């Protein structure tokens, strides 16, 4: 069962951590705070929609370096940057690398809460997509090599007769493979199957 959403706060100023924790707890959000990037890196991340409220200037690993480190670890948690010393090149760099928002202190509480809501929704949607693709991959891997071959030809638009000619087998045999493959994939139609295969393909493309 998926856990409740979590907001991680990384800021080396105790008063900022305390006020952010209070603000987000006041609207029912679960919050964990850290005084450095290393503190969060040591934490096993929960299986729940989450986001990171991150100060740009930190002792040790800076916020922007931490953003790069998370990407290198294949961690796609949405990031909201906060800073008292922001500049345009810095914000552009952060946003280009996928940050949800870049807020300069002092910022309105509501602006931060809105950014957190968007970030948590975004992460929830990403998790749902990954879960769906993972289920599709599991079902695809349960097909025999011949069934996989047949459905790749089906989704490319080939008819049963054409597939049989290409594989050097009977049309009825192709129908059986096709039927079993669609059943295992839980595909109700060829259009359904095409969508599934497209999702699988796009999930492995760089």
pLDDT in tens, 131-178: 999 999 999 999 999 999 999 999 999 999 999 999 999 999 999 999
The CATH number covering residue 12 comes to 3.40.50.2300
49 and 81 in a single domain? The answer is yes
Q: What is the pTM of this model?
A: 0.79
pLDDT tens-place string over residues 87-120: 778 788 888 888 999 998 889 999 999 999 999 9
| pLDDT of the residue at 166 | 93
Determine the Cα–Cα distance for residues 88 and 145; give it in Å rounded to an integer. Answer: 53
Q: How many structural domains comprise the chain?
A: 2
The CATH number covering residue 168 comes to 1.10.10.10
Residue with tokens 């008063």: 15
The last residue of one of the domains, among 106, 130, 154, is 130
87 and 166 in a single domain? The answer is no
166 and 69 in a single domain? The answer is no
Range of the domain at 164: 142-204
The last residue of one of the domains, among 79, 105, 130, is 130
Under the banding of pLDDT at 50, 70 and 90, the label for residue 205 is low
Are 9 and 116 contacting, i.e. CB atoms less than 8 angstroms apart?
no
Catalogue the long-range contacts made by 20-29 (C-beta closer than 8 Å, 24 or more residues apart).
20/53, 20/112, 23/109, 23/112, 23/113, 24/113, 24/116, 27/113, 29/5, 29/116
Are 104 and 86 contacting, i.e. CB atoms less than 8 angstroms apart?
yes
17 and 108 in a single domain? The answer is yes
């Amino acid at each position: 069962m998926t856990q409740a959403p979590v907001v991680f706060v990384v800021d080396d100023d105790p008063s900022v951590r305390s006020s952010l924790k209070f603000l987000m707890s006041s609207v029912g959000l679960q919050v964990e705070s850290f005084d450095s990037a290393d503190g969060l890196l040591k934490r096993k991340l929960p299986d729940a929609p989450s986001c990171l409220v991150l100060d740009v200037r930190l002792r040790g690993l800076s916020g922007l370096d931490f953003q790069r480190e998370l990407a290198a670890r294949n961690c796609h948690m949405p990031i909201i940057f906060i800073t008292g010393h922001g500049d345009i090149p810095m914000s552009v760099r952060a946003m280009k690398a996928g940050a949800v928002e870049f807020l300069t202190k002092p910022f309105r509480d509501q602006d931060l809460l809105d950014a957190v809501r968007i970030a948590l929704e975004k992460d929830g949607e990403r998790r749902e997509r990954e879960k769906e693709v993972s289920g599709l991959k599991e079902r695809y891997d349960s097909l025999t090599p011949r069934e996989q071959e047949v459905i790749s030809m089906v989704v490319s638009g080939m008819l049963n007769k054409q597939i049989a000619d290409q594989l050097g087998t009977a049309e009825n045999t192709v129908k059986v493979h096709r039927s079993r493959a669609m059943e295992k994939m839980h595909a109700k139609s060829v259009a359904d199957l095409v969508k599934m295969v497209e999702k699988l393909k796009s999930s492995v493309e760089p």
